[in-house]
Amino acid sequence: MKEKEILALNAFDPDSASSMDTALGTAVQRRLRSFGNASVLFYQEPIRMARAEGVYMFDVDGRRYLDLYNNVPSVGHSHPRVVEAVSRQVGLLNTHTRYLNDVVDTYAERLLATFPHEIDHLVPTCTGSEANDLALRIARTCTGGTGFIATETAYHGVTSALVDLSPSLGLPLAKDSPVRLVPPPRPAGDETGAVFARHVAAAFEDMKRAGIRPAGLIVDTIFSSDGVLADPSEFLKPVVEAVHAAGALFIADEVQPGFGRCGQMWGFARHSIVPDLVTMGKPMGNGFPVAALAVRSQLLGAVPEEVELFSTFGGNPVACAAALAVLAVVEEEGLVANAAKVGSYLRHGLLTLAERHPLIGDVRGEGLLLGVELIDEARGPAAGNARKVTEAMRERGILLSATGPAGNVLKIRPPLVFQHEHADLFLLALDEVLASS
């Protein structure tokens, strides 16, 4: 396993399939026969999931798991409002956006209303990768440049254009790549933003020396694959200034921090900035594949008409019905405020555990996207311990993952309907696991 391969930090090793019980081993071999090793299964003993509801998932034997792993079911697994919306719309109409449709247009209006007024146009897509790929195309067109910057352990998608901007996949940059990778923003108090901005400016200057015209910087605004880096608020302001000074555009990847997860609707909001382009995906449809790019109209208007931005299934009525239901649930159930409130409670509980367990070096994040850094006795990264913790928690019926450059950060991102009692269950189990580590 390469150190930076995020998926590998949490993945099942197919070579161990023969040591499982017969039923599970048969299920794993069935998967591998169809998908091969390209299909990544989580945990050393994969789980055969059967259903899910709210913050819980259930395997084929009926065992319950508390889900702090995945942010796709943002308003809770199988939320009845979303299920009903999808079921109703799929029985009425599902087609592309070449036809006018009230569900599609209502969703676009309501989603754009959540952004600063400068971001006033929407291009629907099917996946976050597609949205990020589209953002790169628009940035290239508007700036005339080809050079992009990402952080050293970022993940932004799996298309050919995004692989170089997703170093967490573990693939080396080509020698002539127009991409430059910079260190993620390390906590340095009030200097965090200034230091990060200097790295970004230096990378743009390096591009220019190589004859590469800058096009943009893309960041996940909570830096989740870099180990979850949120503080201090507003540290991205000087970074955006450095991007614009280089004649480039700032792309905010909101696939993970967006839709209320960090206690505000959008992760970039806590930095008091207005991005040039915003990408979003996974949580939009609560499991139904839907994504989008939100963009300043003057940028979209600069794209020549012959440059096709259409996606056949992007923004289809069923996807928009699911996404519209998610927006309604987020608003009506107060899930942005809930993420802030319960996230604060959970973070306080983790800080209390840190006082008892020297294995915890830092607790970071905002709202319901938190990172717990694990360290060794020399205060270096304890990468192996993170995998041990996630596996031990899985045995206790709690799902979470590891992330970060050294793979030593526990990544916590439960559905936004997560409550104090769920946090208590998690904290109790984590306390027991750390005590036995």
pLDDT exceeds 90 at position 244: yes
Q: Which CATH class is domain 47-75+334-435?
A: alpha beta
| Other C-beta atoms lying within 10 Å of the C-beta of residue 179 | 21
How far apart CA 255 and CA 291 sit, in angstroms, is 9
Confidence of residue 251 (pLDDT cuts 50, 70, 90): very high
- The topology under which CATH files domain 80-332 is Aspartate Aminotransferase; domain 2 (3.40.640)
| Beta strands per DSSP E along 325-433 | 360-366, 369-374, 398-399, 401-403, 409-412
Check residues 149 and 176 and name the one with the higher pLDDT: 149
- Supply the DSSP symbol for 116: -
1: pLDDT strictly greater than 60: no
Report the distance separating Cα 153 and Cα 156, nearest Å: 10
Q: How far is CA 265 from the centre of its chain?
A: 14
Ranges of each domain in the chain: 47-75+334-435, 80-332
Q: State the pLDDT at residue 3.
A: 40
Residue 52 near residue 288, CB atoms below 8 Å: no
Asked whether the beta carbons of 286 and 72 are under 8 A apart, the reply is yes
Vertex 265: Cα angle to 236 and 147 (nearest 5): 40
Average pLDDT of the chain to the nearest whole number? 92
Question: Tell me: the pLDDT tens digits for 322-332?
Answer: 999 999 999 99
Distance CA 370, CA 224 (A): 9
Dist. CA 377–CA 358, nearest whole Å = 8
360-366 and 291-296 beta bridge pairing: unpaired
User: pLDDT tens digits, residue range 359-369?
Assistant: 999 999 999 99
**Structure tokens given for 174:** 């080509």
- The whole-number pLDDT of residue 9 equals 62
Write down the pLDDT at residue 41: 84
Tens-place pLDDT, residues 190-234: 899 999 999 999 999 999 999 999 999 999 999 999 999 999 999
List the single range of 36-50, 216-230, 389-403 with lowest mean pLDDT: 36-50
State the pLDDT confidence band at 36, using cuts at 50, 70 and 90: confident
Q: What is the pLDDT of residues 316-352, one digit of tens each?
A: 999 999 999 999 999 999 999 999 999 999 999 999 9
Full DSSP string of 288-307:
S--EEEEEEHHHHHTS-TTS
The residue assigned the tokens 């299964």 is 41
Q: Residue 286 is encoded by which pair of tokens?
A: 């609560």
* Span 382-406, average pLDDT: 90
pLDDT at 19: 67
Torsion of CA 164, 169, 172, 176, to 10 degrees: -10
Residue 181: strand pairing partners: 150
* pLDDT above 80 for 17: no
Cα atoms in the 13 Å half-sphere on the side-chain side of 279: 29
